[in-house]
Structure 1
């Protein structure tokens, strides 16, 4: 793949700024704070199909428009760690019949600290011979990388050689936060821009006090850094692996004022209203918290109407969005009671149409 020029990157970023600004204009949003990405080596994870051609073996991707496959020997969007691993891995797998047989996909997860999880996906069951070969593969790769974990996946089978996660260390302002990022679970793909997102959120809440509620908290990407500012933090997340990772991250960062509960946003809304009780909230009395601020980072579909009405009860709303269209739709209701105090664009995905946005909403004086 060719490396994009700085000029072409700036052109696509300008288009995104124009598009997001237009969506936010009806809500009297202030000028956007724009957080650019490096145009290359920004993705901490990447997935490739594998093509077998005689004795040859290589990564492929598919053209989204023509659906035609094309060979990928290097991938400029991916981290330098992944690019280095791509070449070394193929050279080691290609001559090994046990490692290459019916291998159809390779997934990479890396970290700023240089750790790797490499997942090898097969159309066959994996046996002890494969495990021996995979462990040798791991040991050989670790001559070049700090830490490598290998996962073999087949139908109803997952074989882990050491771990299925990397330990990430994110520099946030003057502190480093430790996060466990699990293979096949959601993490922010652009680590450098993610740090800018967290720092922007910290700047937003700097003048605020009280307790923070975060919905869709994942593994605590925002909850943990923001916990240094608020008295208490409650995070909600439905995915069990993310909840487990979040608890690990709380312990590793020595935080005592954060609790993560495994509830969907809709369930937590019901709990806050007193409509339902949940055993997963045992030991947590929500009425004892002084929630002044809520942070939401919902999926592309945005927030449902009940959740939107629930967060309108809070004086301050930090809304992180991976879909500006649903953000604008949600703002139609939220801006009945709140004003946009700050707005930002985070270019998590250069050279794609995807835009990550952030808005800080504060209650209208008359509401």
Structure 2
């Protein structure tokens, strides 16, 4: 009997094949997810009653307006380490009036190698008593804890975990900062990284990457090219990317803190940017033949798409098939799809990640 997960995945496959049929792509490569324990992060409200306190989520009521509180004692889609910690943490919090007072939310961030960061979010100020009790709890449960309330953030040890992702025969370390974007499904992420490396093949030229984030794809892709220039606008992501590059002892990557739109202006020599000069980045010294993009859900603006058209090869990872489909209207004028993939990052939802390799016609 076909599982519910497989039925939903089959529906996604059919949707993606039909949606992109007009571009005549090759056979779709499908990368499935584990059916349980695949999410490395989870966020819950804490619901207080007169004599109890529990994890909660909300679902729409039948009228579509009011929200129904759903008690959550276990969360099978989350990593096993999160499920194991949930009851132990809740028990400790419930047994202490200071730690439980006006506790509003609990956020979990886990890794494949066992690190755990827990953010406790309150609707009241946190004092020294809270801090000492939280330190004791951190030590007892062997977890990192951050306390938050309005205008307040208390980091007891670190505000990050270090994930290790296996790509073929090498492991890469990634600093993942609390409340910053990271890929939620680490096992599917590893498959995405390997697919991107296979699409890149091996080149004696250089790679341009736009929207590099914390360097998730940058690190393994750097092994396939002579040099890499990666761009990202968010300061925290650039900081994490630089840390990741150093920790993984990779020396052929430069990171520019620029938006894709600003990089286009710099590449076309329409505007000079002090950030490039300060980082000692000479765009004209690069010999690009491939560009890698993993844009936000809104997709890529027209000026940047025109820039991409100038490259021989485009590797495009998308978290929104609709904007990818729309962007391909322009990119298909100069390129054809030679690899086509679906990555099921978000089982049991309608969301799906896809990837295409485009080569110049």
Range of TM-score over shorter length = over 0.9
- Larger mean Cα displacement after TM superposition, 118-127 or 57-66: 57-66
Give the distance between the partners of 2:210 and 2:315, measured in 1 at CA: 11
What displacement does 1:21 show? 0.8
Is this contact kept in 1: 2:207–2:228, CA < 8 A?
yes
Aligned position for 2:303: 306
What displacement does 1:207 show? 4.6
Aligned position for 1:54: 50
Aligned position for 1:44: 40
Aligned position for 2:283: 286
Does 1:340 pair with 2:337?
yes
Is this contact kept in 2: 1:55–1:94, CA < 8 A?
no
Give the distance between the partners of 2:144 and 2:272, measured in 1 at CA: 40
TM-score with structure 2 setting the length = 0.97
Aligned position for 1:145: none
What displacement does 1:156 show? 1.3
Does 1:72 pair with 2:72?
yes
Aligned position for 2:98: 98
Task: Tell me the secondary structure at the aligned position of residue 316 of structure 2.
Answer: strand
Give the distance between the partners of 1:267 and 1:292, measured in 2 at CA: 20
Give the distance between the partners of 2:330 and 2:357, measured in 1 at CA: 15
Task: Tell me the secondary structure at the aligned position of residue 245 of structure 2.
Answer: helix
TM-score with structure 1 setting the length = 0.95
Does 1:178 pair with 2:142?
no
Is this contact kept in 1: 2:166–2:190, CA < 8 A?
yes
1:225 to 1:123, Cα distance in 2 relative to 1, 3 A: same
What displacement does 1:208 show? 3.8
Alignment of 1:169-248 (within 5 A): 169-248=164-243
Does 1:328 pair with 2:325?
yes
Is this contact kept in 1: 2:202–2:224, CA < 8 A?
no
Aligned position for 2:12: 16
1:361 to 1:209, Cα distance in 2 relative to 1, 3 A: farther
Aligned position for 1:123: 123
What displacement does 1:262 show? 1.1
Give the distance between the partners of 2:265 and 2:150, measured in 1 at CA: 38
CA RMSD of aligned residues (A): 1.1
Offset from partner CA, 1:9-29 (integer Å, 9 cap, x none): 110000000111111111111
Is this contact kept in 1: 2:202–2:225, CA < 8 A?
no
Task: Give unmatched runs, 5+ long, in structure 1.
Answer: 143-147
Offset from partner CA, 1:21-71 (integer Å, 9 cap, x none): 111111111111000000110000011011011231110001146521100
Give the distance between the partners of 1:97 and 1:279, measured in 2 at CA: 52
Is this contact kept in 2: 1:202–1:226, CA < 8 A?
yes
Is this contact kept in 1: 2:203–2:226, CA < 8 A?
no
Give the distance between the partners of 2:344 and 2:251, measured in 1 at CA: 33
Offset from partner CA, 1:245-291 (integer Å, 9 cap, x none): 11110011100000111111111111111111111111111011011
What displacement does 1:209 show? 3.7
Aligned position for 2:21: 25
Is this contact kept in 2: 1:209–1:292, CA < 8 A?
no
Task: Tell me the secondary structure at the aligned position of residue 68 of structure 1.
Answer: strand
